[in-house]
Amino acid sequence: MRTNPGVCQRKARYASEAEALEVAARAPFPLRPYKCGLCRRYHLTSRTKGMKLPKFELERRSSNSSPSLSRGGGSPEG
């Protein structure tokens, strides 16, 4: 992935993917760690569209969906 130098400077850096994942797991929105080609550390991105979600995010989504709450046909997830 090509990384914008400005983005690299601005973003928080994590020494390992595990560290980045830990922070992502606590965030109220989906975040995905990616390795930066500039600083060789990890950043977090909120762009998860079309990307493989981290395991904790998949678990969070599956546990959040309670079928008893939404009665009368589900709405498609966007």
Distance CA 20, CA 50 (A): 20
Q: Is 25 in the site for Zn ion (CB under 5 A)?
A: no
Asked whether the beta carbons of 57 and 46 are under 8 A apart, the reply is: no
CA distance 40 to 49: 23
User: What is the nearest approach in angstroms of Zn ion to the Cβ of residue 53?
Assistant: 22
**Residue type for position 68:** S
Minimal distance, residue 23 CB to Zn ion, in Å: 15
Closest listed residue to residue 45, CA positions, set 37, 35, 55: 35
- Contact region with Zn ion (CB under 5 A), list: 14-22, 39-47, 54-62, 64-72: 39-47
Binding-site size, Zn ion (CB under 5 A): 4
Nearest approach in angstroms of CB 22 to Zn ion is: 18
Q: Which residues bind Zn ion (CB under 5 A)?
A: 8, 36, 38-39
